[in-house]
Amino acid sequence: MKETSLDPIAIALSEDIGTGDVTTVSFVPEGRQGLGRIIARERAIVAGGEIAAEVFRRLDPQLTVNVLQPDGAALTGGETILEVRGSARSILTAERVALNFLQRLSGIATLTRQFVDAVGESRVKILDTRKTTPGLRALEKAAVLAGGGANHRFGLHDMVLVKDNHVGAGAGFSGFAETIHRLRQERPGIQIEVEADRLEQVRTLIDIDGIDVILLDNMKPSEMREAVALGRDKVKFEASGGVTLKKVRQIAATGVDFISVGAITHSARAMDMSLELTHVGQ
């Protein structure tokens, strides 16, 4: 597939504005100046403030934008996250796109922080996945970092992750060691992770040189604990599958090194934020 470079801000503005903002042009006098404040309406971890600011700047470079709350800031509700001053028309036209980015990304950061807090003092790292909004992966993974989580692979190109479908589509575990050895020679610096959903598979994998991480997929906590005991000091372990806020602390207690949570990107709720516009000057 041919590689393309897509600008999510340009795409979002284009799809929202189309041929023009007919409401604003009709009802807001040209030259009217305004001060807009984006305000948090609930507790949240901020992410995407600079993206929201860039939306305003991209639409109208004459706008003055100040981000008052950096990514990772913990808000209790009522704080001003961003101020934008200049053409009232421009502020209103960019408002929804800026809010969409900020609310969505802050929702990811907030949910990530909830998972991070849920595992307490455990050394386990909360990881994201590739279950992201198409075209927004870089922004959403940055939001995970703002929430205190860590990034898993960005895409198919920067890490080897052998899942059950790869094994099923190939020759199973036959010749697995040889393939891992060849990969190590061809891509010496790449991380190699292999999925296991049964303890028998874990026993097989920990004896293969070159595997960095074993992904324990949909295993019970008792099975995870046994797997970690089998492979301690040989490989690292990642837990995945059906991870919820209620379960994550118990999973962390099994001794795994990582817990990947698809929900922090695919199911995060947009945070409640709004823009208040006041008239200034002409």
Q: Are residues 176 and 51 in the same domain?
A: no
Q: Is 163 a catalytic residue?
A: yes
Residues of the chain with pLDDT under 70: 1-5, 168-174, 281-282
Same domain, residue pair 225 and 130: yes
Radius of gyration, CA atoms only, the chain = 23
Cα 34 to Cα 207: distance, rounded to the nearest angstrom = 66
- Of the candidates 57, 96, 130, 249, the residue annotated as catalytic is 96
Q: Are residues 262 and 273 in the same domain?
A: no
pLDDT at 80: 98
Question: 238 an active-site residue?
Answer: no
Q: Annotated catalytic residue: which of 57, 131, 153, 247? A: 131
Q: Identify whether residues 63 and 30 lie together within a single domain.
A: yes
Give whole-number Cα distances, 172 to 82, 160, 163, 201, 208, in Å.
54, 16, 11, 11, 14
Whether 199 is in a domain gets the answer yes
Rounded to two decimals, the pTM is: 0.94
Within a domain: 222: yes
Q: Do 170 and 217 sit in the same domain of this protein?
A: yes
Strand boundaries in 139-183, DSSP class E = 160-162
- Rounded to whole angstroms, how far apart are CA atoms 131 and 266? 6
219 in Cβ contact with 255 (< 8 Å): no
Distance of alpha carbon 222 from alpha carbon 224, whole angstroms: 5
Active site residue 232: no
Query: Of the listed 58, 163, 184, 247, which one is catalytic?
Result: 163
> Could you report the per-residue pLDDT of 44-84, keeping only the tens digit for each?
999 999 999 999 999 999 999 999 999 999 999 999 999 99
Would 1 be classed as within a structural domain?
no
- CATH at residue 96: 3.90.1170.20
278 within 8 A of 92, measured Cβ to Cβ: no
Number of domains in the chain: 2
Reported as a single tens digit per residue, the pLDDT across 4-17 is: 457 999 999 999 99
- The amino acid at residue 214 is I
- Give the domain extent around 222: 116-266
Tell me: do 138 and 239 sit in the same domain: yes
Tokens for 109? 């950061």
Same domain, 22 and 49: yes
Same domain, yes or no: 234 and 163: yes
Active site residue 2: no
